[in-house]
Structure 1
């Protein structure tokens, strides 16, 4: 059951279970303070329509001013003398503005300063007031409403708010900082036990009813005689300045064609709107206003920004007498909705100078064009037919259709203070309401059972979590063990078809490489010699032997950066080399290159076999500049490093015997330096062909000897 108990049906159900005779006087029972019914003034005020006002008395001695109720404002604002200084008739101006508050005439007024009032700025209604602390009481002369001292009061002179404002929002006022805020009038009412909760209910009244119905304001509760019950309860919006936010799902009017029962939609799409009793108009998007223009024949006046209604249009609208229905919900789609229906008479308002710059009294339709969604507002026009109840403590509110049964007696119900749990109310014989707190035995048992169930579920979840983690750890350990066995495999048969019989091809993951440790100079020299040798020696398990690993410390050293076999078989003349920075350990596991021979070693088996990469032999030239062949270079390397004299074969066919090469000797005495020879006197040219084996050039002698070439000769 909702805590507000806004619905008479809910209230009656609660009373049925607890009769007044069964009320229990327990220690946790609290007697609720009766709500305050703030009687309205008998006047109809305003320059933008006829609105029921409420009189408050301010200062000492009391000065009576009429105000409009504001759910957005949190201060009491009144017109000061400056607001009528420009008028031709000061007294007449003061009368139409709800009378003047003279701050200097109050002996209890404590001046604070001039500040902006901070409300309705989104609608362009900016203004400021001269603030101070003073006493404020409810009701006019002869009424006995509560009087509070040191409440925040502001005096203003701008015309945007033509009458004073009685703010019932409980927000505090902060003039300098947030450390010492000034409490609102509603908060002080609650603190001094004048009301049971910070809550209020309001309807604006309707001057067009016959007879006219004044407004109604109840502080700390609601009046069940004023509304038609519904089961829709709203929660506050997230914006602190637009808390009474409702989702308007549709605005429609009956179809002009009586034979068509489908209503005409006036709102192109659902929107969120703020309920604000401070202003009178309804602010809608421009496209919605255009639909209103088409449906009702309205004409927008750019000078006054109002929809002015001439006599012809007024007669047409009266004859049509179309109603407009608002469908409200917590959100713009789905959920429970409440329909508030307004007759055309609720929109038949009169504007008087100086409102919006009009020069004469004229009828207007209270529809305003909103510039953006921050201006979507439901004003006092809507609250002529709607009853609004707000509980600021619980941050909930209700909107209901006004009940126009004049014969029903006033029935006030207090809204209990919010404690964070649902409470119930029941009236006693004196009309006071009681609230009972505490939890029943069944509720306590249910809470205990819920806690036990939660603990069992948590224990089960923890068991499943640890069981899966242990299982995953064991599976990972087993996988690592299998991977370790795979790394010790020595050779892969290159002739095996890995894709035979539908098997998937082997995937070779890339290994992450780490930088090797610096090597001492003597180790580097020895390692270089071993890498340059074609054979190696060492114990089993070293590179170059069957089953030897090709990585150190678990990191691959082959040319592909991986300890896995190469998926391709090298061609003749290609190969790989591998090395280890430790000898004789045989502890580092990796797979060998498939190019490693099974029994490749020299007779002495003192050195390891090392395979050189193709193309890594240096180019060795003879003294005549001719490059050696690969086999000649191999033979020379064998003679240098291994001491083996293996004369290379020539590049002729292998089945032919190579012809011996003629040794060409140079006589050092025949070598002369050309830069020290003086040119001959007869101008002949002396050529010096040191270390040249070109024969027969210049003198056309094809069989010239090298001795002739190294001597200085004259060429013609």
Structure 2
């Protein structure tokens, strides 16, 4: 379902383009108003009507009355084209009944001593709206044909109440019928009266079943309809301001001191205010009350002065007295600079007037059609609320937003990029989780840095490794070889934790004591030095015996060393080879008491005893 919209005298759906017509068409005997276009009967008769926000009855001017132009000077065309029920083949009469449209605001006529607030000839007929490509037609709609001077122009009823007559049959209004027929999504509407008193001129804008966001400046204030589904708010203040030198002096001036309940109603053009407020208008604007006509007529001098000063009125509205949330609607004097004619004044022609009325009772306090020239009213009967917004003098692009019935509203899961729709609790939880995560990261970083610093300090204290990382199969033996010592080798020996490296200490003259390298690595180990030592069959190194056979490595240092060793001429280079490659002399050449022995042979308990006793094997 799409909302229906009427603008510049037409209705159209939000899914189609606007239907253009003569926007210069405007009517009124209490101002110049933009009207809506409807077609009634069969064949359809076009009529121009206003929007009636306070009634569910659709009214049109009767054909009989507009022919009598002796006093009024208004023809049928001046009344927005009268409807002739006798030319409609689908008209079904109901009877003559009172209009009952805001009688407290209607100028009654004395007829045989009884005040006549307006009568209509009620009947049922088809009601059609055309948007250029398709039409919306409702049958059996209640229409009241007015054949007196109570109203000049008809109105399109936007209320939701039903009307009953003597036959006790109830008739629904237009908005309810449109909703039940599935034409609009809800019993709601958005409306502004348009403005032909400012430049550029704006036509009426009416959306049935929605509202047009291109016509107003939105606010968040939503107010409740009263028990009779009427938009009644609290009028907190009215202030007036101007440029130049206004009569009240510099700055703004308060015109309403005490807040008052006010109804927003397009049926009347007037601003009905308490008498106290009206007197403040008189004092500050120079208005004069005409007690005979019950009007504020304005002469040309006063009118020109107020227009020159660019006078602006600020209306502050709230849902109830003292509410914190309010909305302000600015209305310029040029929008209230209107003309009025018969039957308000008993003469032909029109006079300039200011649309202010003294409200004799609370029910007459009203912000009428003149106010709605610069305000946009949204009414949602489904939810029982309404809102009022500042209308844009230069409307934006048309954007029709439907107002769905509460039962038709479906909750749609929010997409992942709709971060602004997260609840406050979810946002708080996310924030707390992120904070905890950051704290954990900081703690782990501190622990890591401390451990790293401790490791660096420990590495500076520990001794450096003496073995070659690139050649791990070469063991290095270091020692202090002092010649001519009684004990060729010291009994103290140091073995490195690396099995491939063993350090020997001792003198180098007569090496009668031996130390054994680890058997894990049988590859050659290198001692720094310039001389060669020989292995002698039968027992290690013997002093005074010439070497039987010498196996010697070239005098070349390892390719890479991790620790520099001072050069000592007393050091010798010894190469160690696998046991299988060592040439051992026959046992006959050595002492018979000494078993065959190689430098890589392990020490036995007997040999240890012999060494301790003699100092050598």
Q: TM-score, normalised by structure 1?
A: 0.52
* Cα shift readout 1:174-215 (whole Å, capped 9, x = no counterpart): 11366x411211111111111100100000001122221101
Return the match for 2:234 from 243, 247, 251: 247
2:191 maps to 1:202: yes
* Cα shift readout 1:148-199 (whole Å, capped 9, x = no counterpart): 0001011012223101111111211111366x41121111111111110010
2:132 maps to 1:161: no
Shift of 1:302: 1.8
CA–CA distance in 2 between the matches of 1:322 and 1:379?
19
Matches within 5 A, 1:443-482: none
Q: Which residue of 1 aligns with 2:140?
A: 150
Shift of 1:359: 3.8
* Cα shift readout 1:89-143 (whole Å, capped 9, x = no counterpart): 9995101001111111111000110011111112244211010110011248x57
Q: Which residue of 2 aligns with 1:394?
A: 383
Change (3 A) 1:127 1:192: same
CA–CA distance in 1 between the matches of 2:285 and 2:124?
48
2:122 maps to 1:131: yes
Change (3 A) 1:267 1:90: closer
CA contact (8 A) 2:200 2:393 kept: no
Change (3 A) 1:286 1:107: same
Change (3 A) 1:422 1:317: same
2:402 maps to 1:414: yes
Matches within 5 A, 1:243-392: 243-254=230-241, 262-392=251-381
2:63 maps to 1:77: no
CA contact (8 A) 1:54 1:139 kept: no
Name the SS for the 1:314 alignment partner: helix
Q: Which residue of 2 aligns with 1:118?
A: 100
Return the match for 2:7 from 24, 33, 39: 39
Name the SS for the 1:295 alignment partner: helix
Shift of 1:358: 4.6
CA contact (8 A) 1:225 1:409 kept: yes
CA–CA distance in 1 between the matches of 2:236 and 2:142?
38
Name the SS for the 2:322 alignment partner: coil
Change (3 A) 1:91 1:145: farther
CA–CA distance in 2 between the matches of 1:204 and 1:90?
25
CA contact (8 A) 2:93 2:123 kept: yes
Name the SS for the 1:73 alignment partner: coil
* Cα shift readout 1:439-491 (whole Å, capped 9, x = no counterpart): xxx9xxxxxxxxxxxxxxxxxxxxxxxxxxxxxxxxxxxxxxxxxxxxxxxxx
CA–CA distance in 2 between the matches of 1:411 and 1:74?
26
CA RMSD of aligned residues (A): 2.8
Q: Which residue of 1 aligns with 2:431?
A: none
Name the SS for the 2:329 alignment partner: strand
Number of equivalenced pairs? 393
CA–CA distance in 2 between the matches of 1:278 and 1:143?
31
Higher strand share: 2
Shift of 1:332: 2.2
Deviates more, 1:285-294 or 1:314-323: 314-323
CA contact (8 A) 1:305 1:356 kept: no
Shift of 1:426: 11
CA–CA distance in 2 between the matches of 1:174 and 1:426?
45
Shift of 1:355: 2.9
Q: Which residue of 1 aligns with 2:541?
A: none
* Cα shift readout 1:525-575 (whole Å, capped 9, x = no counterpart): xxxxxxxxxxxxxxxxxxxxxxxxxxxxxxxxxxxxxxxxxxxxxxxxxxx
Q: Which residue of 1 aligns with 2:436?
A: none
Return the match for 1:54 from 36, 44, 47: 36
CA contact (8 A) 1:226 1:403 kept: yes
CA–CA distance in 2 between the matches of 1:184 and 1:411?
26
Return the match for 2:221 from 215, 232, 239: 232
CA–CA distance in 1 between the matches of 2:50 and 2:130?
13
CA–CA distance in 1 between the matches of 2:49 and 2:320?
33
Matches within 5 A, 1:609-620: none
CA–CA distance in 1 between the matches of 2:265 and 2:63?
27
Change (3 A) 1:154 1:127: same
Shift of 1:425: 8.0
CA–CA distance in 1 between the matches of 2:269 and 2:299?
20
Change (3 A) 1:426 1:399: farther
Change (3 A) 1:412 1:359: same
Shift of 1:373: 0.6
Larger Rg computed on CA atoms: 2
Matches within 5 A, 1:412-561: 412-419=400-407
Name the SS for the 1:374 alignment partner: helix
Change (3 A) 1:319 1:418: same
CA–CA distance in 2 between the matches of 1:76 and 1:124?
17
* Cα shift readout 1:380-408 (whole Å, capped 9, x = no counterpart): 010000000001111101100012334x3
Shift of 1:352: 2.5
Change (3 A) 1:294 1:425: farther
Name the SS for the 2:302 alignment partner: helix
Shift of 1:85: 3.6
CA–CA distance in 1 between the matches of 2:296 and 2:323?
33
Shift of 1:66: 0.7
Shift of 1:316: 1.2
Return the match for 1:221 from 187, 201, 210: 210
CA–CA distance in 2 between the matches of 1:173 and 1:362?
37
CA–CA distance in 2 between the matches of 1:353 and 1:361?
8
Change (3 A) 1:211 1:88: same
Q: Which residue of 2 aligns with 1:646?
A: none
Change (3 A) 1:137 1:387: same
Change (3 A) 1:276 1:318: same
CA contact (8 A) 1:38 1:139 kept: no
